[in-house]
Amino acid sequence: MSTASRLPGIVTTDHVFQLPLDHAAPQGEQIDVYAREVVASGRERDDLPWLLFLQGGPGGKAGRPLGRDGWLERALDDYRVLLLDQRGTGRSTPANRQSLARRGGAREQADYLAHFRADSIVRDAELIRRRLVGDRRWSVLGQSFGGFCTLTYLSIAPEGLHEAFVTGGLAGLRSSADDVYRAAYPRVVRKNEEHYARYPQDVGAVRRIAAHLADSPATLPDGGLLTVEAFQSLGLMLGAGSGSGTLHYLLEEAWVEGAAGPELSDTFLAGAQAKLSFAEGPLYAVLHESIYGQRSVEPGGTAWSADRVRKEFPEFDARTALESGAPVLFTGEMIYPWMFDTDPALRPIKEAADLLAARTGWADLYDPARLAANEVPVVAAVYHDDMYVDTADSLQTARAVRGLRTWITNEWEHDGLRVSGGKVLDRLIAMMRDEV
């Protein structure tokens, strides 16, 4: 039974759907997939078009609205919104170290997790659409990885879509994981340069912390290990609009005078843990490289691509930078195998992650021929020099999808949908309606 709640300006309704784990075996094991319906107060009975929101990730649950805020402020003018907790996340049947332990060994866990990519998410959405609205089409808004899922939707079930909005999520249709990371590392270098130009004092601050961690890795409050490589991965923040400032303020409080002299402060260690722990979203780490796996592009496994490709960019070697006097560079949206040693939330599923990295023959996620013949109206925001999604890939994909229109902007970073107060979505809706 659905449960309704009232919050400032909105009415939410809970929905739980039992869906096949493996859509190729619909009568087999079932999992729960949760979605939260959101409508503007006073419009509960209006016959509004539906807008499905596909969250970024992979492995990210939908946002938890506290009222009519953020991009919902604009969306609820026109739509009844469905916030999907993609399979394995949030209130859907969880996939984490605790639940996966019930499935048996690493092989069984990996086989289970192989069903959590974009193709399964889209097939979930289609079953949900038919149960909620029958034969009516709905609209979709895909943010980041949600945009990748939108391209998959357009490839395998476009008959379910009335229109599609994409923000920072036009994936390279024919890009392998290696291609993605070879393009990503130079972008991350530029984000480091911008950060150090804004906060030149951070060059020395980062070198001091890195030198300390290179000799003596620190223990985080949850028992995790802060190595110099883990410290570098705080650079994930640099792709968000406020990320550079957030990182700077974290560094400001790195040291405290202890009984034996300077030591890393509890404030800093707790702040680092909050950014580095995958306890709330382990699927992000486990599945991250598999989202690029397509047998027609690269029939082999992704094989810890970010780690292998990193060796082609020696400027990211912190110890070499410390010896040479160069700035220590942060990394970006990369998942490394050592994370499954340093993070307590990931350690129990390390073997399963290794098996997924070695897995071959991933099903194709995109159908270039079908996209070239696309009839669903699509508009997309492409953020200039997006740290997470390659702009060149995005524009090439835009040209490959029939009728797709782009808005290229450097006003916002990758999180523009979330932080723009509805401006990004408003622009895309206006484009869809030929108002701009």
- Return the active site residues: 144, 386, 414
Backbone angles phi, psi at 220, to 5 degrees: -80, 165
Calpha distance 267→281 (Å, rounded): 23
Burial class, 331, CB count within 10 angstroms (exposed 0-12 / middle 13-18 / buried 19+): buried
The total of other beta-carbon atoms located within 10 Å of residue 278's CB is: 22
8 A C-beta contact, residue 11 and residue 39: yes
Omega into 58 within 30° of 0, i.e. cis? yes
Calpha distance 297→345 (Å, rounded): 32
Long-range CB contacts (< 8 A, 24+ apart) of 43-47?
A: 43/76, 43/80, 44/11, 46/80
Long-range CB contacts (< 8 A, 24+ apart) of 213-216?
A: 214/318, 214/319, 214/322
Please give the single-letter amino acid code of residue 150: T
User: How large is the greatest C-alpha to C-alpha distance in the chain, in angstroms?
Assistant: 70
